[in-house]
């Protein structure tokens, strides 16, 4: 069988060139010269006995033969990568989770102990940032992202919808005689008035969106920070309700209106398709999805 296989270096170059539709980009990814890429592709074409690319002035295009070969090669590298990752990680190791601060502080930190009790050999490291991690370049195993769930090359699992509403402290509401209608919120300081959620929520409530114009733009960069400011009576925050059910139940925050905004975004568990069966990723997925199901309802 080994005698029938082409050189692995040539196959690796072909996979990169087919994925990028460019010899130049493949060379940059692999740390090679464009001439070296062209040479490896020529070697492979000689072994296959047919051209794999049509060379055009600013790009290369797969031939019919190349188009048949590319998916199989890509799948083979994916299987190899997954097997290597699984062998390297074993059943333990460190699981690096990239997530936004509010999800980490208001849900994950309150539940991660049960995962670690179930899997004591797996250490957990949280990377709390709004940065959209590049799994191919960064040492991150899984992510929890907010968005529409459309990230090519990643497996996505819906966790819950990101529905939002204005919230404030009871004392702040009392300072203006209570919040009886949506327009009453405009009597108070609005935290992060440039947030598009404010405009959309007021439009749903029938309040002119231009009511927010001219207000000081104070952005804290995280719902966790804005909720703390709201609980301290510093203003009205617009927050994802599911993150603050405890604060609402305890009376530290109030949600004056049942009206919820929904821009179609949600929170998702994501990881590369090729790593779906890495033991630590599989363990976290099998713990998280049922653990969060009650929270998502």
Alpha-carbon dihedral sign for residues 208, 211, 214, 220: negative
Is residue 179 over pLDDT 70? Answer: yes
Distances (CA, A) of 256 to 168, 183, 253: 8, 12, 10
pLDDT of residue 286: 95
Q: pLDDT tens digit string along 256-295? A: 999 999 988 899 999 998 888 888 999 999 999 999 987 7
Ramachandran class of 206: left when φ > 0, alpha when ψ lies in -120 to 50, beta otherwise: left
| Mean pLDDT calculated for residue range 99-104 | 92
pLDDT of residue 75: 87
Q: Sorting pLDDT into bands at 50, 70 and 90, what band is 2?
A: low
Is residue 152 over pLDDT 80? Answer: yes
pLDDT mean across residues, the chain: 89
Most distant CA pair in the chain, distance: 84
């Amino acid at each position: 069988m080994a005698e029938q296989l082409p050189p692995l270096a040539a196959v690796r170059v072909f996979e990169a060139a087919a994925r990028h539709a460019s010899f130049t980009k493949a060379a940059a990814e692999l740390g090679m010269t464009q001439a070296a890429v062209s040479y490896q592709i020529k070697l492979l074409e000689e072994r296959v006995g047919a051209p794999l690319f049509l060379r055009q002035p600013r790009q290369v295009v797969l031939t019919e033969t190349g188009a048949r070969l590319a998916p199989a090669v890509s799948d083979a590298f994916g299987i190899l990568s997954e097997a290597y990752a699984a062998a390297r990680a074993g059943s333990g190791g460190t699981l690096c989770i990239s997530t936004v601060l509010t999800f980490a502080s208001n849900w994950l930190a309150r539940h991660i102990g049960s995962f670690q009790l179930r899997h004591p050999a797996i250490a957990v490291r949280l990377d709390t940032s709004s940065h959209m991690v590049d799994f191919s370049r960064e040492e991150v195993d899984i992510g929890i992202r907010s968005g529409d769930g459309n990230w090519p090359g990643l497996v996505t699992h819906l966790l819950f919808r990101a529905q939002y509403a204005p919230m404030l402290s009871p004392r702040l509401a009392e300072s203006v005689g209570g919040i009886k209608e949506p327009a009453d919120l405009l009597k108070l300081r609005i935290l992060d008035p440039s947030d598009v959620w404010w405009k959309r929520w007021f439009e749903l409530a029938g309040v002119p969106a231009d009511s927010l114009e001219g207000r000081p733009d104070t952005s804290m960069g995280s719902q966790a920070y804005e909720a703390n400011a709201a609980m301290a009576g510093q203003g009205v925050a617009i927050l994802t309700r599911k993150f603050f059910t405890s604060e609402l139940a305890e009376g530290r925050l109030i949600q004056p209106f049942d009206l919820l905004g929904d821009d179609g975004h949600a929170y998702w568990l994501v990881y590369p398709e090729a790593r779906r069966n890495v033991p630590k990723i599989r363990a976290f997925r099998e713990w998280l999805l049922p653990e969060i199901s009650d929270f998502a309802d």
